[in-house]
Amino acid sequence: MAYQAQYYPGNSQIAKNRRRYMDPSEKLKKLRDVAMDDVVRILGHRAPGEDYKSIHPPLEEGNEPDDYVRKLVTPIEGAKKGDRIRYVQFTDSIYFAPMVPYLRAWMYMTRMRGFDTGTLSGRQIIEMRERDLEKASKELIDNETFDPAKTGIRGATVHGHACRLDENGLMFDAWQRYRWNAKKGEVEYVKDQVALPLDKPISVGKPLPDAELKKMTTIFRVDGVDMIDDPEVMAMNLRIHRLRTLCGFQAFALKGE
């Protein structure tokens, strides 16, 4: 029988959301459409329309040494062309952002290929070949894993995920890369992800209402859905802690657990 992935345990709404985001067979809703050129501007790695810089000749020139893994793995588009590795980094507020950093990592692992990712307490970086990174970034900005007010695109000085929101309901950003446009009721980026001012503001749309966010979030919170109310999730987490405490990373070495 073929192996069937079990993405996340539990029956609470949060557990169901987590499973849905991680399951690649589930199509994520597209909530906005930010133009590709604007995504490129926010990333700040190249000007829109500029050629991709390369770090090695295209693979089709055949200069690579013979290797089993090369035969086994189909390269992604950017790798074929020899693109540079560039990055995008998302910050998720603890105030019911749609995603949390480690869930982002799990989701990327099941939905994308050809990248490296790193998880920190409030942010999640993706490193990838440039042209593939741009496509992935656009998808992650356009779909339901992104909320203009509670998710930030921040390459450096990401501090703010655990701070209170500001008066407009936006996550704190010491560099104010995005601002609230009261007339339109939208959030717009005025700086790229490393705070270089943009020529013109880029709108990323209206923030989702709090009630909506509480339904689609993946964050267990005492004032939302408490993890303790989902026994299966609690049991899994306690088991992980127990095994980790007893035998570090060699959970398999423990007999009878």
Partner 1 sequence: MMTSTNAPEAVPLPEILIFPNRLLKAETTEKLLNRIYEVPHVRQVNIAGEALPAVLSSGPNKGLPNEHPERRVITVKGEQVELRLLVGRVFVEIDDIDHVQRALEEIDEICIEILPFGFNLEVGRYSKYKPTVTDYKKCKR
Which residues here bind partner 1, judged by CB under 8 A?
Answer: 155-157, 159-160, 163-167, 169, 172, 174-176, 179, 194-197
Alpha-carbon distances, residue 154 vs 151, 173, 221 (angstroms): 9, 9, 24
Q: How far is the CB of 179 from partner 1 (least distance, A)?
A: 8
Sequence-distant (≥ 6) Cβ neighbours of residue 252 within 8 angstroms: none
Query: At closest approach, how far in Å is the CB of 51 from partner 1?
Result: 20
Q: Which is nearer to partner 1, 105 or 194 (CB)?
A: 194
Smallest distance, partner 1 to C-beta of residue 2, A: 46
Provide the token pair at 42.
Answer: 């926010």
Q: Indicate the residue among 171 and 208 with the shorter CB distance to partner 1.
A: 171
* Between 65 and 197, CB nearer to partner 1: 197
| Nearest distance from C-beta of residue 8 to partner 1, angstroms | 31
Q: Which is nearer to partner 1, 157 or 250 (CB)?
A: 157
* Residue linked to tokens 């570090």: 248
Q: Give Dmax (Cα) for the chain.
A: 63
**Distance, CA of 180 to CA of 122 (rounded, Å):** 22
* Nearest distance from C-beta of residue 93 to partner 1, angstroms: 12
Distance CA 217, CA 225 (A): 10
Sign of CA dihedral 90, 91, 97, 102: positive
Q: How far apart are CA 30 and CA 144, in angstroms?
A: 6
Phi, psi for 231 (deg, rounded to 5): -60, -35
> What minimum distance in Å lies between the beta carbon of 213 and partner 1?
16
State the DSSP H helix or E strand holding residue 16, giving kind and residue range, or none if neither: helix 13-22
**Strand, helix or coil for residue 85:** strand
Q: Cβ 249 to partner 1, closest distance in Å?
A: 32
Phi, psi (deg, nearest 5) at residue 197: -55, 140
One-letter identity of residue 204? V
- Looking at the Cβ atoms of 110 and 176, the one nearer to partner 1 is 176
Nearer to partner 1, 23 or 166 (CB): 166
Q: Which is nearer to partner 1, 160 or 205 (CB)?
A: 160
Distance between CA 90 and CA 138 in Å, rounded?
Answer: 12
